[in-house]
Amino acid sequence: GQYFSKEFKVIAKECKAAVAGHTASWLSLGLKAGAGETRDLLLNCIVDELFHINGELPDKAGFEQILADLREQGVTRLAREQLNQMLDLLAERRKTQVALTQSKQRAGKSRSADQARFAEYEDLLAGLVPSDFLTRLSPAEAIDRKRYLQALAKRVERAEHGPLKDTDKAKRVQPFAQQLRQLERKEAEQKAGGSIAAPCREAVARYRRMVEEFRISVFAPEIGTAQPVSEKRLKQQWQQVEESCRRVE
């Protein structure tokens, strides 16, 4: 608070306006928080990113360097960029949710609704941008999540015209998605019992990203992946996860 207090007042005001101006998008998340609390969560999310706070506080020299960088680059400009990234993600989520709901309604009318398929899409949507995304995602991650949402929307659209093709494609992703679910359950248990060691956490995060990129390559290749990804690479990364996480158990 003692650093950049004038700038943070401006940013807090913009966060408040961002919450008030996008009410429908915030509501569609199913947020339990009120407007004031949502503004604080949004502000904290941006501040954590600006100061590189990711569960660990920097040392004095590191902190001085962060302050110098922020002065040079302009705190307000950086904060606005990050605020826009979070709002873009929120808007994309709502857009995807609307497309999914409409597709489900159309399928219902033509009696071809595949309950399991739509349940999977809804799970994916909730996993990409959960209702508590402000405490779980950073603005940097929001850029990738937006692409993952776009890929999901494309998938939903294509599946409407070719549900069997969608089922075949899903079979390619399924083993990796299943491993990811296992990992997430394990992660939740370990978090409850204390912190997870950095090498394990990083290997898991990389695997999670690769699974999402693989989904893009399978269901919506025109969106483009951020890294080369294939079944073979995923298997190699899974071994990396097992090694990194076994080492610290």
Q: What is the pLDDT, as a whole number, of residue 249?
A: 47
Residues of the chain with pLDDT under 50: 1, 248-249
Q: What is the pLDDT, as a whole number, of residue 248?
A: 47
Q: What is the pLDDT, as a whole number, of residue 114?
A: 81
Q: What is the pLDDT, as a whole number, of residue 50?
A: 85
Arithmetic mean of pLDDT over the chain: 88
Q: What is the pLDDT, as a whole number, of residue 247?
A: 58
Q: What is the pLDDT, as a whole number, of residue 193?
A: 62
Q: What is the pLDDT, as a whole number, of residue 245?
A: 86
Q: What is the pLDDT, as a whole number, of residue 231?
A: 96
pTM over 0.85, yes/no:
yes
85-141 pLDDT, tens digit each? 999 999 999 999 999 999 998 887 666 668 888 999 999 999 999 999 998 888 889
Instruction: Supply the DSSP string of the chain, one letter for each residue.
Output: --SSHHHHHHHHHHHHHHHHHTHHHHHHTT--S-HHHHHHHHHHHHHHHHTT-SSS---HHHHHHHHHHHHHH-HHHHHHHHHHHHHHHHHHHHHHHHHHHHHHHHHHHTT---HHHHHHHHHHHHHHS-TTHHHH--HHHHHHHHHHHHHHHHHHHHHHH-HHHHHHHHHHHHHHHHHHHHHHHHHHHHHHTSPPPHHHHHHHHHHHHHHHHHHHHHH-GGG--SS---HHHHHHHHHHHHHHHHHT-
Q: Where are the domains of the chain?
A: 164-249
182-195 pLDDT, tens digit each? 888 887 777 666 66
Q: What is the pLDDT, as a whole number, of residue 5?
A: 81
